[in-house]
Amino acid sequence: MESEHHNLKTAPSLSLGRFHISEEYGFLLPNPLMPLLNCQFLRDYPEQRLAHLVLSLITMGYIWQEGETKLDEVLPRNLALPLTEVSRSVGLPPILVHSDLVLANWTMKDPERPLEMSNLDIIVSFPGGESLRGFVLVTVLVEKAAVPGIKALVQAVNAILKPNQDFLLQSLQQLRLCIKDMTRTLGQMHDYVDPDIFYAVIRIFLSGWRDNPALPRGVIYEGVSKEPQTYSGGSAAQSTVLHAFDEFLGIHHSKESADFLYRMRDYMPLSHKAFVEEIRLAPSLRGHILSSGVDQLLRAYNQCIEALVELRNYHINIVAKYLITASAKAKIRTSGQLPEPPQALEERGTGGTAVLRFLKSVRDKTLEAILHHSG
């Protein structure tokens, strides 16, 4: 009894505040909104990139959450302001881009095991389930497959600057093998991504608000500007890899295609865009090969072009399956298992282009780059 009496004397008095219970709202959390995010607490570039990934993905979810039927054309300031701030820090537009969804959105389950599909996962996601995971991670693997080609490209440029025909030949041979490996890796898309889910579920969350009839005026970023802003959606054309290969190989596209591709460079990290520009300003590979008169170099160059044409042909087939054929199937589908697919872009790419016409033009101009013996 004395022990109980002692405990009563020493126990703190009962109060609501001790249990996070509000005097005014009871068990309700008063003012549950978070304060405006402050990007100054981000410590370095990787954290800024991760913040851009998360904020831009939330932005896509907010804009497209109700499909095309109930679009909100104003992005709330609590999202618009921090997204714009971090976008300025990393030099990216305030929308989800390839460098977010793919380049910064993967992790290895076990760092000691190889970088392959079974050992990969994505960091953040939106509707699409395993097909979204597959779409992102197959693209990650294509980017990884490009690494030997990027290194070969650098070695080749240096072999032109300080002429070394043997190194240049080896670099071109390595680039060809790399491009063929990228094509094989892209083939995994068939294994991991359902075309119907990609078209009806995933695609809208990659769509932007430029050249998109669903948002013809764009989106107002509240607290940033009173005028609507227009930005293209995520696109494979935002990947630095093929821009670098095209510049190195001296491939020149039609004005319409080139204009779009150059605009897509503004959707790359600044350092990656600068890398492509450095390649563009390097001595001409084509000119070097023609002036050298070395048949082996000319054949190796043409084999790179042929491999790149093959990759672009394969990409056209992928797009036909996941966009054109899936669109036709969606029009005759009667079951309600999948949501109504977006109509505004129809058979256009998420970047807003007439995608097949664009891809075929790019492929054809690549083929035209084949070199022939002078005279």
- Domain-embedded: residue 59: yes
| C-alpha distance from residue 112 to each of 109, 118, 184, 193, 255 (Å) | 9, 13, 24, 27, 47
Determine how β-strand 220-221 pairs with β-strand 74-75: parallel
Query: Which residues, including other chains, have CB under 8 Å from residue 155's CB and lie 6 or more apart?
Result: 167, 170, 171, 174
183-207 mean pLDDT: 94
The answer on pLDDT for 352 being more than 50 is no
Question: Which of the given ranges, 17-31, 67-81, 307-321, has the highest pLDDT on average?
Answer: 307-321
Q: Please state the domain count of the chain.
A: 1
User: What is the domain range of residue 223?
Assistant: 45-367
276 with 334: CB under 8 angstroms? no
- Domain-embedded: residue 301: yes
The answer on pLDDT for 288 being more than 70 is yes
Of 33-47, 49-63, 142-156, 270-284, minimum mean pLDDT range = 33-47
CA 320 to chain CA centroid, Å, is 20
Supply φ then ψ for residue 107, to 5 degrees. -150, 150
How far apart, in whole angstroms, are the C-alpha atoms of residue 140 and residue 144? 6
340 with 199: CB under 8 angstroms? no
How far apart, in whole angstroms, are the C-alpha atoms of residue 233 and residue 56? 11
The pLDDT score that the predictor gives to residue 72 is: 84
12 or 77, greater pLDDT: 77
How far apart, in whole angstroms, are the C-alpha atoms of residue 153 and residue 149? 6
How far apart, in whole angstroms, are the C-alpha atoms of residue 301 and residue 292? 13
- For the stretch 217-239, pLDDT in tens is 999 999 999 999 999 999 999 99
* Total count of residues recorded for the chain: 375
Determine how β-strand 120-121 pairs with β-strand 107-108: antiparallel
- For the stretch 111-153, pLDDT in tens is 999 999 999 999 999 999 999 999 999 999 999 999 999 999 9
- Domain-embedded: residue 9: no
The answer on pLDDT for 165 being more than 90 is yes
Determine how β-strand 74-75 pairs with β-strand 107-108: unpaired
How far apart, in whole angstroms, are the C-alpha atoms of residue 276 and residue 116? 27
Give the mean pLDDT of the chain: 90
Q: Could you write out the DSSP letters of every residue in 315-344?
A: HHHHHIIIIIIHHHHHHH---SSSPPPP-S
- Domain-embedded: residue 50: yes
C-alpha count within 13 angstroms, C-beta hemisphere, residue 222? 10
Q: pLDDT band for 70, please (50, 70, 90 cuts).
A: confident
- Domain-embedded: residue 105: yes
- Domain-embedded: residue 36: no
The answer on pLDDT for 103 being more than 90 is yes
280 with 349: CB under 8 angstroms? no
Supply φ then ψ for residue 238, to 5 degrees. -85, -5
Percent of the chain with pLDDT over 70: 90
Percent of the chain with pLDDT over 90: 74
- Domain-embedded: residue 80: yes
304 with 175: CB under 8 angstroms? yes
Alpha carbon distance, N-terminus to C-terminus of the chain? 113
The pLDDT score that the predictor gives to residue 9 is: 61
- Domain-embedded: residue 10: no
Query: Which residues, including other chains, have CB under 8 Å from residue 310's CB and lie 6 or more apart?
Result: 179, 180, 183
118 with 137: CB under 8 angstroms? no
Q: Tell me how many degrees the CA angle 344-350-354 measures, rounded to the nearest 5.
A: 75
C-alpha count within 13 angstroms, C-beta hemisphere, residue 128? 27
Which CATH number is 120's domain given? 1.20.58.480
- For the stretch 107-122, pLDDT in tens is 999 999 999 999 999 9
- For the stretch 240-276, pLDDT in tens is 999 999 999 999 999 999 999 999 999 999 999 999 9
| C-alpha distance from residue 58 to each of 93, 95, 336, 363 (Å) | 15, 10, 27, 35
